Every structure is written in structure tokens, then in C-alpha cells.
């Protein structure tokens, strides 16, 4: 298996452009099948999750390719409503195909995506929303079959602002008969991007980015070309890596408005951040300050997807910090690995008590999920000595060639392939 090898102690310096958002690209690629013809999606990063979504679109009958940063999908041949269990298990985001397939073909067969390293990942809110619109749902074991003669507009209240459920219901409502209102909707920027993509194809959606989204059903959609937003979590990860290594980095092509909570926390920790349009400079000259309490919760609060990364900053801060994780029930798998590098962290239920130490030490550690892996990379950049990170396929799901991205900023990081024994 490939590994990342990092020689720590070098400050990150230089300029880097942020690639497109994985969590915008995936639902938008799924939504492309709702229009018959060729859709082009620009600024799509080269990630393993994108490759899996392309494979799923092909399995449904599309012609799909990724050249440069543009994904092209010809949806004319969509005829398959069964999503292979093998592909479902590779990527939970396959769930985004439920709304589009129900809308296009009136049927979808898929499998409970199941839990993962960070939590149970239920889909009950997705199913409740689709049922409210007239879908008939049969669950046999882990297989889920949804059928809908006709999807009808409905008043839907989400008990929790689930990102995926908001997106799936929004997509199913686009060509339903009549008006749909989603109250208690998630407010993430990726949902706004999905709304803008669908409206570019002729949908009539308003309210994405707020907790109430209204969709007026239309009869058909027209294929389009669309450019997705930059990845706010990749940007936040690089901001934290700069702070942890006491570096000075300029990030280009970002959306600062999507990062207000991360900017606020880093400034409270003593990091200097200046913004001009879509350019941000991050500079850290001193040891970070501890922060008594950080709570992850749905956007626009501090994102769960930056929780493991910010924990590395607090591991090196001056004092005690507390991080409370309220979105996923199992998102502390990185704590054991960070402790092996010398961090002083105690977990009690869904809170981590982090006592800052003067330095971390290189070790051989294992990535357990995407963002935990990113946190271990950040820790390796700051640590004294050599860090070897295993199971790095998790990291490749959300960061495009992370070793090249960081190498360009002065990091001593290499990807090693296993020695092929004859």
C-alpha cells in the first residue's frame, strides 16, 4: 500500500490555488442525469471519490469522462436504476442518486450505505422526504427499493439539517408536480451550488443557504455547462497547516465567505489572516493560543470536517482547549494516532480535552478516514522527525495529490509505493 513520508519542522510558504469542492461536485454530477443530453461541469478535482461517481454514472448508462478539470456526462443513455452494491460500498455519496433516478426513471434500487469510521450515517431523513413526495419505499435487509409513479410537491420538515437529505429532496422536487418546501434545511455552500446548477438547467429553486428552500416543479431540464465552487475544507486544511508550521501562505481562488467560522477560530488562536477578494494570506509567527471551547455544528458554525485538523493546532497551543463534536458520533478516531505523536488529549463522550505540548514527534500512524488522515499530515508537517502515514487512500478521496500540493509550499513530503517483489 502507498504511504506518505514527511520530514517535519519546515514552515509552509508560498502561494497555492484551491481546487474545486468535492462535496459540490458529487451531488451536481448526480443531478446531471436529470437533463437529457451532455452536461459539462468545470473545476472538478481529480479525486478517487470523483472516479467512483463517474463509474456509477457509467453503470447507469451514461457516457462520462474527466479531462483536465472538466467532467463531461452524456446522460442520453440512462436506463439503469440499480446502483451496484460494490460501488455503493465504495462511496456513501452514491446516495445522491436517489432523487435524480426517481425523477428520471421513477425507480431506484440501492443499498444502505452503512456506517463508516466517523459514524452510523443513517438515511432515514432522505427516505422520509422522498416518501412525503409520493415515493414507495421497500427495505429488505440492506437493500432499498424506491418507486414513484409520479413525484408530488410536499411540505417537508427536516428534524436535523442533513446536508445529503436536503440535497436529495431538492433534486427529487425539481420535476415533481407542484410546490415543495423544505424547512429545517441544511445551509452549506455546496447546497447553494447545487441550487445554482439546477437553476442553470431550468429548475425553479429559491432559498438554498437558508433553512427554508422552495422548489416549484418544472416539466424538464436542459443540459448546461457549470463551474463549481472552491473546496472550503481543503482551504481550511491548508490554513491550519500553515498555522501549525508557523508559515506564511497565500491561498488563491477561495471563497472567504464560506470560511468565516474557521477564520474566526484561527484569529482567536493568534493567526494573522488578511483577505483581498478571492485571495487570502495566512501567517503565523508565534505558538498558537488555546481556545477554551470549540463546538462543531451545521453551517455556518465550525465545520465537523475541520475538527480533526484544528485539534492538531490545539495539540501544540499554549494551554487547555476543548473541542466538542456534535455532528458525528464517532469522529475522534484520529486522537489515538495523534497521542502516539506526543499529543496530550483526553476524550470524554463527544468532547476532547486537549492540553497543548511544546512539540509533537514523528511516528508511523494510520489514516482512519478522510479528514483524520488530513490531520495526521498536518501533525507530521509540524512534528520533530519523520512521520509515516499508512492507509492514505482515505486522504486521496478529498485532496488532489496532497504531496504535490504541500511540496509546492516547501514541505518535505513523499508518496512511497510498495516495493514490487518479483
The conformation of residue 152, written as its DSSP 8-state character, comes to B
CA distance 262 to 280: 13
In 3-state terms, what secondary structure has residue 324?
strand
Is-catalytic flag, 116?
A: yes
159 labelled ligand-binding? no
Separation CA 36–CA 164 (nearest Å): 24
C-beta of 319: minimal distance to ligand EPZ in Å? Answer: 28
Q: How many residues bind ligand EPZ (CB under 6 A)?
A: 24
- Binding mask 377-406 toward ligand EPZ (x if CB under 6 A, else -) reads ---------------------x--------
Site membership for ligand EPZ, residue 296 (CB under 6 A): no
- Contact residue for ligand EPZ among 163, 198, 244, 378 (CB under 6 A): 163
Number of other CB atoms surrounding residue 330 within 10 Å: 16
Q: Are 301 and 261 in contact (CB under 8 A)?
A: yes
Show contacts with ligand EPZ in window 3-42 (CB under 6 A).
Answer: 23, 26
Neighbours of 79 (CB within 10 A): 10
Least separation in angstroms between CB 299 and ligand EPZ: 7
Cβ atoms within 10 A of the Cβ of 18, count?
25
Residue 231 annotated as binding site: no
Site for ligand EPZ in 111-150 (CB under 6 A): 119-126
Which span (157-165, 194-202, 208-216, 262-270) binds ligand EPZ, by CB under 6 A? 157-165
377 annotated to bind ligand: no
Task: Give the integer Cα–Cα distance in Å for 159 and 314.
Answer: 33
The mark string for 314-333 relative to ligand EPZ (x by CB under 6 A, - otherwise) is -------------xx-----
- Sequence-distant (6+) residues with CB within 8 A of 33 are 57, 60, 62, 73, 75, 78, 97, 100, 101, 104
Q: Which is nearer to ligand EPZ, 115 or 178 (CB)?
A: 115
344 in helix, strand or coil? strand
* Residue 10 marked ligand-binding: no
Instruction: Name the closest residue to ligand EPZ (Cβ).
Output: 164
Which is nearer to ligand EPZ, 192 or 250 (by Cβ)?
192
Q: What angle do CA 220, 212, 304 make, to 5 degrees?
A: 105
Measured distance CA(231)–CA(26) in Å, rounded: 12
If binding is defined by CB under 6 A, does position 93 make contact with ligand EPZ? yes
**Active-site amino acid positions:** 116
Feature table: binding site for UDP-N-acetyl-alpha-D-glucosamine: 92, 305, 327
Residue ranges in contact with ligand EPZ by CB under 6 A: 23, 26, 93, 119-126, 160, 162-165, 186, 304-305, 327-328, 370-371, 398
Amino acid at each position: 500500500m502507498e504511504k506518505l513520508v514527511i520530514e517535519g519542522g519546515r514552515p509552509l510558504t508560498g502561494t497555492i490555488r484551491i481546487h474545486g469542492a468535492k462535496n459540490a461536485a458529487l451531488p451536481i454530477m448526480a443531478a446531471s442525469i436529470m437533463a437529457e443530453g451532455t452536461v459539462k461541469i468545470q473545476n472538478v478535482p481529480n479525486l478517487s471519490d470523483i472516479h467512483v461517481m463517474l463509474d456509477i454514472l457509467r453503470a447507469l448508462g451514461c457516457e462520462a469522462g474527466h479531462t483536465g478539470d472538466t467532467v463531461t456526462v452524456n446522460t442520453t443513455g440512462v436506463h439503469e436504476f440499480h446502483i451496484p452494491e460494490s460501488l455503493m460500498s465504495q462511496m456513501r455519496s452514491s446516495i445522491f442518486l436517489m432523487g435524480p433516478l426517481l425523477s428520471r426513471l421513477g425507480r431506484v434500487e440501492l443499498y444502505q450505505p452503512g456506517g463508516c469510521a466517523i459514524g452510523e450515517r443513517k438515511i432515514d431523513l432522505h427516505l422520509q422526504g422522498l416518501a412525503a413526495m409520493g415515493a414507495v419505499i421497500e427495505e429488505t435487509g440492506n437493500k432499498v427499493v424506491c418507486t414513484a409513479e409520479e413525484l408530488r410537491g410536499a411540505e417537508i420538515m427536516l428534524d436535523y439539517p442533513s446536508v445529503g437529505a436536503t440535497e436529495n429532496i431538492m433534486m427529487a422536487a425539481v420535476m415533481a408536480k407542484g410546490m415543495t418546501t423544505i424547512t429545517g434545511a441544511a445551509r452549506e455552500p455546496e447546497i447553494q451550488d447545487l441550487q445554482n446548477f439546477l437553476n442553470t438547467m431550468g429548475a425553479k429553486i429559491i432559498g438554498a443557504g437558508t433553512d427554508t428552500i422552495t422548489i416549484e416543479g418544472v416539466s424538464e431540464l436542459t443540459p448546461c455547462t457549470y463551474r463549481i465552487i472552491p473546496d472550503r475544507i481543503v482551504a481550511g486544511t491548508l490554513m491550519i497547516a500553515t498555522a501549525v508550521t508557523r508559515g506564511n501562505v497565500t491561498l488563491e481562488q477561495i471563497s472567504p465567505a464560506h470560511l468565516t467560522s474557521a477564520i474566526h477560530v484561527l484569529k482567536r488562536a493568534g493567526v494573522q489572516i488578511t483577505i483581498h477578494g478571492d485571495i487570502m494570506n495566512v501567517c503565523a509567527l508565534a505558538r498558537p493560543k488555546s481556545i477554551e471551547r470549540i463546538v462543531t455544528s451545521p453551517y455556518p458554525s465550525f465545520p465537523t470536517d475541520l475538527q480533526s485538523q484544528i485539534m492538531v493546532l490545539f495539540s501544540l497551543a499554549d494551554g487547555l482547549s476543548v473541542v466538542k463534536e456534535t455532528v458525528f458520533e464517532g469522529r475522534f478516531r484520529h486522537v489515538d494516532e495523534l497521542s502516539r505523536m506526543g499529543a496530550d488529549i483526553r476524550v470524554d463522550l463527544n468532547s476532547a480535552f486537549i492540553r497543548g505540548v511544546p512539540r509533537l514527534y514523528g511516528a508511523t500512524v494510520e489514516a482512519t478516514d478522510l479528514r483524520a488522515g488530513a490531520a495526521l499530515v498536518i501533525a507530521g508537517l509540524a512534528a520533530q522527525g519523520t512521520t509515516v502515514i499508512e492507509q492514505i487512500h482515505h486522504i486521496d478521496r478529498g485532496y488532489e495529490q496532497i504531496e504535490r500540493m504541500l511540496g509546492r509550499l516547501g514541505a518535505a513530503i513523499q508518496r512511497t509505493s510498495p516495493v514490487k517483489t518479483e
